[in-house]
Amino acid sequence: MAMMNKNTVLGWATFIMIIVGLGLIALGAFRYNEVAGWGFASVGVGFFAIAWVFNSLNGRI
């Protein structure tokens, strides 16, 4: 495997955070019907926000 530069690492981090965010939102929507579901969904949206920041940093570092 070739060496990964900073942009590749940020790209993979963005992809992983989107997958985790989708999983947390799915847990909040389908697994937990009480107040805990709202917490899982809001943390999943937070993961999307951080992934957006990682994506915007791509090419600037």
* Domains of the chain by residue range: 6-57
pLDDT value of residue 58: 75
pLDDT value of residue 1: 62
Averages of pLDDT over runs of 10 residues in the chain (61 residues) are: 81 92 92 88 92 83 68
Integer Cα distance of 7 and 54 in angstroms: 10
Give whole-number Cα distances, 38 to 29, 33, 43, in Å.
8, 9, 9
